[in-house]
């Protein structure tokens, strides 16, 4: 595989990264510093296409698992409006029948704005410093300019969580029973047409999902995209293009949706490095960075609740 990522020149500092989030968004005590507003979703994950078992021995592809999920707005604002377009996120903690855990964290972005954890910290710091600093950062980082241009051109139609596609951004490995690894990225795409079915207002997303669940099926298909030999698997700022082998590996079906105060998701840490047997993290250093900053954030916000 082609590694297009230059090694980061500095060791990732979780404290510095966490501080950058707080400077950019402020602090809502007891809440996540990023993806601050959200609610819980509970349901099941079941395998769909058995071809995925050729590549992975994971138990999430061999039986039905339970899921505790959280859907959210990206960013650290305490209460962004549901009736205005914005980037969204979804995290899942999947528990298999044999008690194995598999954690997934996704966003609606198609790829990451920068290639390394050091660049990500500096981007957050530049945004906190203001427009001039952000422009100066963009001038030095063509990958950030490409990210902005691509995502600004996307359709900005307002969609509820259940009508939205979420993407892994980082690369992972599927691992078969013999230990062979296959690089892949994945997305969770709505299984059907799920639309806005209630009157829109600043906080309508939960009500909308509850109504869609009550009136029919709310689900997302896990679409696995296998890497081609020339794909940049260790650089999350590089989008894969061209034809790829894809597999509809599984389906997450929502059965209930509730506020964080009534659900199980608030205290969860959606660490993307927690993987079931049959998966492995890639060597992408951004995965380690995410894991470290999520862990620090979980400790801080949960201590604020006590």
Question: DSSP string spanning 52-71?
Answer: GGGT---GGGTS-EEEEEEE
How high is the pLDDT of residue 4? Answer: 39
**CA distance linking residue 18 with residue 155, whole number of Å:** 31
What pLDDT does residue 1 have? 44
Contact 259, 40 (CB under 8 A): yes
CATH code for the part of the protein at 14-111+155-305: 2.40.180.10
Per-residue pLDDT at 12: 52
β-bridge pairing 279-281 and 172-175:
antiparallel
Residues of the chain with pLDDT under 50: 1-11
Question: What SS3 state is found at 275?
Answer: coil
What is the per-residue pLDDT across 52-80, written as a single tens digit (0 to 9) for each?
A: 999 999 999 999 999 999 999 999 888 99
Strands (E), 24-179: 38-47, 65-73, 88-95, 101-107, 166-167, 172-175
**Burial per residue of 227-266, b for 16 or more beta-carbon CB atoms within 10 angstroms, e otherwise:** bbeebbbbbbbbebeeeeeebbbbbbbbeebbebeebebb
Q: What is the pLDDT of residue 306?
A: 67
Q: Which residues of 170-198 are buried (b: 16+ CB within 10 A; e: fewer)?
A: bbbbbbeeeeeebbbbbbbebbeebebbe
Read off the pTM.
0.92
pLDDT of residue 5: 39
> Quick one: pLDDT at residue 3?
40
CB 53 within 8 A of CB 61: yes
Cβ atoms 41, 257 nearer than 8 A: yes
Domain boundaries, the chain: 14-111+155-305
pLDDT of residue 293: 86
């Amino acid at each position: 595989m082609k590694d297009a990522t230059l090694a980061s020149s500095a060791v990732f500092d979780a404290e510095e990264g966490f501080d950058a989030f707080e400077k950019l968004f402020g602090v809502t005590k007891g809440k996540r510093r990023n993806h601050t507003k959200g609610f819980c979703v509970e349901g099941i994950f079941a395998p769909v296409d058995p071809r995925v078992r050729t590549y992975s021995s994971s138990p999430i592809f061999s039986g039905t698992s339970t899921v505790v999920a959280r859907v959210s707005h990206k960013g650290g604002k305490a209460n962004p409006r549901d009736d205005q377009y914005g980037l969204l996120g979804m995290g899942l903690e999947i528990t298999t029948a044999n008690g194995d855990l598999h954690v997934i964290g996704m966003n609606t972005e198609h790829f990451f704005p920068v290639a390394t954890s050091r660049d990500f910290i500096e981007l957050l710091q530049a945004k906190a410093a203001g427009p001039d600093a952000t422009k100066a950062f963009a001038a030095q980082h063509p990958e950030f300019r490409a990210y902005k241009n691509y995502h600004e051109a996307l359709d900005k139609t307002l969609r509820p969580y259940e009508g939205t596609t979420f993407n892994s951004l980082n690369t992972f490995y599927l691992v078969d029973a013999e230990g062979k690894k296959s690089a892949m990225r994945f997305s969770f795409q709505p299984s059907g047409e799920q639309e806005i079915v209630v009157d829109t207002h600043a906080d309508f997303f939960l009500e909308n999902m509850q109504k869609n669940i009550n009136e029919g099926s709310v689900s997302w298909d896990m679409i696995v995209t296998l890497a081609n030999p020339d794909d940049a698997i260790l650089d999350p700022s590089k989008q894969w293009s061209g034809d790829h082998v894809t597999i509809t590996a599984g389906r997450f079906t929502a059965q209930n949706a509730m506020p964080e105060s009534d659900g199980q998701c608030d205290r969860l840490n959606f660490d993307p490095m927690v993987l079931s047997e049959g998966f492995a993290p890639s060597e992408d250093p951004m995965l380690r960075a995410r894991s470290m900053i999520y862990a620090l954030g979980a400790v801080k916000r949960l201590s604020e609740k006590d």
